[in-house]
Structure 1
Amino acid sequence: MIERMSFDAVKPLAGTQLTSQTQSQTPAGSIKQFGAFLNDAIEGIAAQEVNAQQVNNQFLLGKVNADEMMIASEQALLSLQLTTQVRNKVIEAYQEIMRTQI
């Protein structure tokens, strides 16, 4: 059967309020948390692409409607495009920081 898509790759950060624990956290700990968040997001995107391939294969076998196949494909495509745009903005911000004269 078809796995229903979820938007785990683009989920809001849980507990974004600043608490005394997050304020006293070290920069290395913050980098680990940010890295884990990015890793989870990329794994979610990869899962969406795998799901889109599975739905496409099921469509070819006649087990899935064309609309379900198109929805899964478009969700995977949009997630990949979002990731690419975020990457481009991060690189652009890094380049801007490097151009800043101190």
Structure 2
Amino acid sequence: MKTQLIDTSRIEAMMAQLKSAATRPQGGVNPVATDAGTTSTKKVGFGEALKASLDQVNQTQQKSEQLGQAFMMGDDKVSLSDVMISMQKANINFQATVQVRNKLVSAYHDIMNMQV
């Protein structure tokens, strides 16, 4: 059984992506003006960024499922290649998410085992 499907550089890249998503304003909202007249962006916590990432993975999987069902129902607008590509994207997103989860659990265990 393979225990490491994605190398650590890809996990680190995904973590960097999560951090950049956390600093980006959500929904195209313009930066909020403060009393001093300067602009600042709303800080997004790690939990919110993680939830947004998981929601995106969920949406990818649902889209893949919908395309598969449309193809099985005989929809001429959906090709087999579109269905297969969508399923592979959903699978890759899910596998990357599992690897990030594994890395987070490992980091949690490392922190909990530290001597204070």
Q: TM exceeds 0.5?
A: yes
- Tell me which of 55, 61, 64 is aligned to 1:52: 64
Q: Which residue number in structure 2 is paired with residue 73 of structure 1?
A: 87
Aligned counterparts of 1:51 and 1:90: Cα–Cα separation in 2: 27
3-state SS in 1 of match to 2:45: helix
Alpha-carbon distance, 1:66 to partner = 1.0
Alpha-carbon distance, 1:61 to partner = 2.2
Aligned counterparts of 2:49 and 2:64: Cα–Cα separation in 1: 23
Unaligned ranges ≥5, structure 1: 1-9, 23-28
Alpha-carbon distance, 1:73 to partner = 0.4
Residues 19-98 of structure 1 aligned to structure 2 (within 5 Å): 33-63=45-75, 64-98=78-112
Alpha-carbon distance, 1:99 to partner = 1.3
User: Which contiguous aligned blocks of 4+ residues in structure 1 show a shift greater than 4 angstroms?
Assistant: none
Alpha-carbon distance, 1:85 to partner = 0.4
Unaligned ranges ≥5, structure 2: 1-13, 25-39
Q: How well do the aligned residues superpose, as a CA RMSD in angstroms?
A: 2.6
Please tell me the residue identity of whatever aligns with 2:57: I
Q: Which residue number in structure 1 is paired with residue 27 of structure 2?
A: none
